[in-house]
Amino acid sequence: MIFAALYGGATAAFLPTVAHRLSVRFGEPARSSCAGCGDIYPAWVRVGAACRCHPGSLMIVPVGAVTAAVLAVAIGPSALLPVYLVATVPALLLGVIDLRCRRLPDRLVGTLAVLAAVPSAILRPSMIGPAIAAGGVVLTAYAMIAVLMPGGLGLGDVKLAGVLALIVGFAGWPAVIVGVIAPHLINGPIAIIQLGRGRRTPLAFGPALLAGALIAITTA
């Protein structure tokens, strides 16, 4: 667990600059300088905060450490543990970017799918069918919700939900059900509180989807 936590925190320390550069609106190029002070970024990946004016971006480090530790405790010495630990990198990026600009870049969603689903298929070939079925069912259901209730879900949410269902599907249908229900239990109270305060700002659903998948995987 300690080594997993160190891995999670260490890798997360490299992500603030990447997250800040990719937190742009759809169709806009990645940032080459800080949106706050205008300082030019010397590199894509570096340790520490994205910029001197964004020290709060380092909160991703404890989140990465805790996530990795939870996975290590729940999964134990399994061949799937390294798979999930590697997948936490794009997952953390997706969560941060969605919180900042309500966007889930397709390339990161695709990277998450490749890093987690492909090794899972190799390690659990008997679960390929259920995993694909879970991904298809959830993708279709979320797509229908997005069409019937415009403004509730974005296409990024739909794609991420399908990918996460595919990944969680290798743990079985009970885990998929948990992964589908948990995000709504997470975002539901937050939405109610916001409405009570008169706020109608759309909630980022990506972090809740990712947290739901983590809960599903670690409780399967």
Place of tokens 């969560």: 95
Give the pLDDT band of residue 125 (cuts 50, 70, 90). very high
What pLDDT score does 198 carry?
66
**Residue 109 tokens, joined:** 């969603």
Sign of the CA dihedral running 88, 28, 194, 200: negative
Backbone angles phi, psi at 40, to 5 degrees: -75, 135
Q: What pTM was estimated for this model as a whole?
A: 0.91
**How far, in Å, CA of 73 to CA of 67, rounded?**
10
- CA dihedral (77, 79, 81, 83) in degrees, to 10, reads 170
pLDDT tens-digit series, residues 25-60: 887 888 877 777 777 777 777 777 777 776 667 788
Per the CB < 8 A criterion, the answer to whether 174 and 187 are in contact is no
Backbone angles phi, psi at 33, to 5 degrees: -145, 165
Q: What is the mean pLDDT of residues 120-129?
A: 96
Query: Rg for the chain (alpha carbons), in Å?
Result: 17
Q: What is the mean pLDDT of residues 202-207?
A: 87
pLDDT tens-digit series, residues 84-121: 999 999 999 999 999 988 899 999 999 999 999 999 99
Per the CB < 8 A criterion, the answer to whether 137 and 165 are in contact is yes
Single-letter code of the amino acid located at 25? R
pLDDT tens-digit series, residues 162-190: 999 999 999 999 999 999 999 999 988 87
Q: Does residue 209 carry a pLDDT above 80?
A: yes
